[in-house]
Chains A and B, each alone.
Chain A
Amino acid sequence: MMAVANNQPNNLETLENQLRELSHDDRVLTIIQDFADRLGKTKDRQKVFGAEGALVRQPIEYRDMLAKGLIRDDEDAFDLLQGDIVSSDAGYFLGERITNMKFAIASSTCDLVLGRRDYASLLRLQPIFSDDPQAKQLLGEMLKFKSTKRMYLPPLPGDSRNVVGNAVLFDGVIQIRLDDLLLATRHASLSLVGWRIFGSLVRTIMVRAGASETEMRSKA
């Protein structure tokens, strides 16, 4: 094994040691949950997370960003960003084409550049209606951010009047060709903190360690 200076890993054991705190770290969830917890009741969380610009904002447009100097002209032009809320009838889930639904884009923004990838991943949204007998409990649970299945979003453009919130569902990924996704209807982008929370959930839900997983893999 080649010698490496300082604390650079020079064998698989030290490599694992250095990755341990990074690859499966789920402290981000605790930070979000503690914040939500301090806000009080669910209605208080609804006010904070449902406010204008809190989690969602108007779609971020490339030309606007260019004009404001927030992106350089030598950077990739974009049509869509990670976390954007979109509609398309060209996404598939287990062989069925999904119609008349909204989705959050799970793929990273840099993978949404035309020609860079063939496919993209979407997470479906499900609206919660005011007269759903479970609405209170559903909103209460989601706004605690303890679920590994769902993330809260406020009512979105195009939602009917009786929608009181939306759930981004992490149970099952919708697949779509990138070319098709770039023609989707764009409803909203995530705010900075909305994108941070979304990214934290996507990463942690896709990659988290079971209680005994480290022991089983290292000692069995």
Chain B
Amino acid sequence: MQITNKKFRLRSGANWTSFEKFRLQGAEALSSIANGVIATLQTKTGQYRIIEERDFQAMYGLARDVDRLRGGLRVVILAVRAAQKHPDPENLNLLAEAVAMLGDLPELPTRNSFDGLVPENFDLDEDDEVMLDPDEIERPLQSESAIDNRIDRS
């Protein structure tokens, strides 16, 4: 079992000042866009940022967490306002409690793996033949570059 909070960092990458320059460079132009690198494309209709799919998913996931955090922060902000307006022991205590609650959550929990699968042990057949050589096994849909999903193992 593994609970992680990978740091997410975006960096500026290639900058094309016209669509034509981008087009002339072809698909190769996109190869540098990965692992947090974001490219910029300036066109007559506006400026666009190009981000690789996995970075987009990571950024979108973080945005979803920020949305969740808003609820907790709202409680803290209300406690701060109450303490500012009426700095009595009850309100100061409420503020301390609200902050302490957030303090227990220094990072929002994420998980990128689960316990490894274990056999269920039914119909154990010693004579069974199983293909385990990756070169022997058909890979029906091979269109994307491989992700090293060993990270999924705990």
Contacts and interface: CB of A to CB of B under 8 A. Distances in A.
B143 A96 contact: no
Interface stretch (B14-22, B24-32, B41-49, B108-116): B108-116
Contacts of A177: 64
Nearest to A45: B130
Contacts, number: 173
Contacts of A89: 57-58, 60-62, 64, 110
A180 B131 CA distance: 37
Does more than half of chain B's interface fall in helix, strand or loop, or is it mixed?
loop
A44 to B, nearest CB: 8
Given A46-B130, A158-B147, A98 B112 contact: yes
Chain A interface size range = 35 or more
Interface string B131-146: 1111001111111111
B138 A130 contact: no
Given A88-B61, A89-B57, A42 B3 contact: no
A120 interface: no
Q: Which 8 A-B pairs have the closest CB atoms?
A: A89-B61, A137-B119, A90-B64, A100-B112, A41-B129, A42-B130, A157-B144, A96-B111
Interface of B: 3-4, 6, 53-54, 56-58, 60-62, 64-65, 108-114, 116-125, 128-134, 137-153
22 contacts: A42-B130, A52-B140, A87-B57, A90-B57, A90-B60, A90-B64, A93-B111, A100-B149, A100-B151, A134-B118, A139-B132, A144-B123, A155-B137, A155-B140, A158-B144, A158-B145, A159-B139, A160-B146, A163-B149, A180-B60, A183-B56, A184-B57
